[in-house]
Structure 1
Amino acid sequence: MFAIRASYRGRSRRRGSYVRDVAEALGNSPAVLSEEVFGIEDFVCVVPGPEEAGGVVMSLLQAGDFAIGIGAIADQSAVASEKETGHTRHAASAQELDHEDLDADVYSAEIQKECMGAANRALGEKQRANMVSVRIEKPGPGGVMAPGKAAEIGEDIAAAFTLLAHVLSRRTKEGREATAMLRAGHLQSEAAELVGITKQAMSQRLAAAGWQAEQAGWNLAVHMLARIDELPAE
């Protein structure tokens, strides 16, 4: 599970309504477990896994004007085990233990809370738009950074998204349209037909838009996000 904190850094006079609209659009996606708006310029989304986290960050990078913080907890099973131990002691005496309810109501809520805290701490006050920072913490209260390779993995994730932000920033309107179609699942031939151009012209647009670079950066970012699950709590 991951939390993504976004803070608007643009100059729109209607920034409050714009931020709410973006948060609501992301929250309506099946990839997002929950979203919450803070004040005028900030919101946070909670997602279940690496691909969903990458998708939300990519959407924010394409929207522009958002500084982004990603929060995660190393060894999330430790949070679950700790909660299960306490809950089991209480419920066993009453013989009312329901593991399915535990998973949904206890584990998920606690992990979401800790991930959101990590995301809040990841985002710097002076962090610029289209910059991504990552914070991986140990399970439990206190917001303690995870030891070992966690910082290195966090830096690699941030670097991958920095490269992706650069690719996205250089795209023309036509390039954004072409890549959006492929990202939605269309084949090049289908996208070309929808736009009303030849397949060769579509291929040229995708090349100019850095589609292959985006795919490589995306795969790297998701792979590095998935490595957080391999981190021990200690």
Structure 2
Amino acid sequence: MFVMTTDQRQSRRDVDRVPEAVAALSAIPTIRSFDRTAGDEFQAVFDSPGALTDAIVILAELGPWSIGIGIGDVERPLPTQTRAGRGAAFERARIAVTDAKRAPHPVAVVGADPETASSAQTAARLLVLLVGERSEAGRAAVREMRRERTQSEAAATLGVTPQAMSQRLRAANWYLEEDTRMLVTRLLADAR
């Protein structure tokens, strides 16, 4: 199992962004849904590394989050509320979110095998870097491409030329995102 514990960065100088993040993540399939644990933290339980990767991307797009991923067993049956869960994955997620708060690319992965967890963490940090550093124009271009449009259709929707759309997608590293997502997903699965 995977447990994601997420903490809002610089929350003392910002508004509460937990409701916005939880709403943005609501379509992601989880075993136990995103649930506020305390203050500006929330947590969810996953069994799918692909869904976990999707959640990482959404949080990276939103910006001010430290993401901790714990991999391991959970006590069964899982309680109805995520925050009441127990087990190694929950404990590791707590360690991971603390580690993520100190990292320049704020995601950390802790699992039973430190080597595979470290590989998954490196890939997840690359994904956060790739997605998090996009300009607003790049984010808009990527949003249109995710709607499964052609590049020409996306350009027309944004009111830019196909050449400008191509430049935006290149600057946003759109062409690397899918490969990086697949790498993160595979490495998370290996670390399970």
Q: Aligned partners of 1:109, 1:118: CA distance in 2, in Å?
A: 18
Counterpart among 133, 142, 151 of residue 108 in structure 2: 133
TM-fit CA distance, 1:131: 1.5
- CA offsets per residue over residues 29-70 of structure 1, 9 Å max, x none? 242341111222211122230110001111111111211110
Q: 1:69 and 1:185 mapped to 2: Cα distance?
A: 30
Amino acid at match of 2:152: S
* Residues 99-178 of structure 1 mapped to structure 2, 5 A cutoff: 106=77, 109=79, 113-114=86-87, 115-124=89-98, 126-128=101-103, 130-136=105-111, 146=112, 150-178=113-141
Equivalence for 2:65: 66
5+ residue gaps, structure 2: none
* Residues 14, 131 of structure 1: alpha-carbon distance in 2 compared, 3 angstrom cutoff: closer
CA contact (8 A) 2:155 2:161 kept: yes
- Compute the TM-score of the two structures, normalised by the length of structure 2: 0.82
In structure 1, the gaps of 5 or more residues are 84-105, 137-145, 230-234
SS at match of 1:59: helix
Shift of 1:224: 0.5
Superposed displacement of residue 14, structure 1: 4.5
Change (3 A) 1:12 1:41: same
State the distance in 1 between where 2:131 and 2:28 align.
24
**CA–CA distance in 2 between the matches of 1:47 and 1:188?**
33
Offset at 1:129?
6.4
Residue identity in the other structure for 1:127: R
Taking the aligned partners of 1:57 and 1:135, their CA distance within structure 2 comes to 15
Quote the Cα distance in structure 1 between the aligned partners of 2:104 and 2:36.
Answer: 18
**Distance across 1 between alignment mates of 2:104 and 2:22:** 16
RMSD: 2.7
Are the equivalent residues in 2 in contact too, given 1:15–1:41 (CA < 8 A)?
Answer: no
| TM-aligned CA deviation for residue 218 of structure 1 | 1.4
Code of the residue aligned with 2:162 in structure 1: it is K
Identity of aligned residues (%): 29
- Structure 1 match to 2:146: 183
Q: Distance in 2 between matches of 1:196 and 1:186?
A: 14
Is the CA contact (8 Å cut-off) linking 2:4 and 2:43 kept in structure 1? Answer: yes
Compared with structure 1, are the counterparts of its residues 197 and 191 closer, same or farther at alpha carbon in structure 2 (3 Å cutoff)? same
Residues 69-106 of structure 1 deviation map (CA, whole Å, 9 limit, x = unaligned): 10111xx6xx79xx7xxxxxxxxxxxxxxxxxxxxxx3
Q: What is the rounded CA distance, in whole Å, between the counterparts of 2:14 and 2:138 in structure 1?
A: 27
Q: How does 1:1-234 map to 2 (within 5 A)?
A: 1-10=1-10, 13-16=13-16, 18-26=17-25, 28-32=26-30, 33-73=32-72, 106=77, 109=79, 113-114=86-87, 115-124=89-98, 126-128=101-103, 130-136=105-111, 146=112, 150-229=113-192
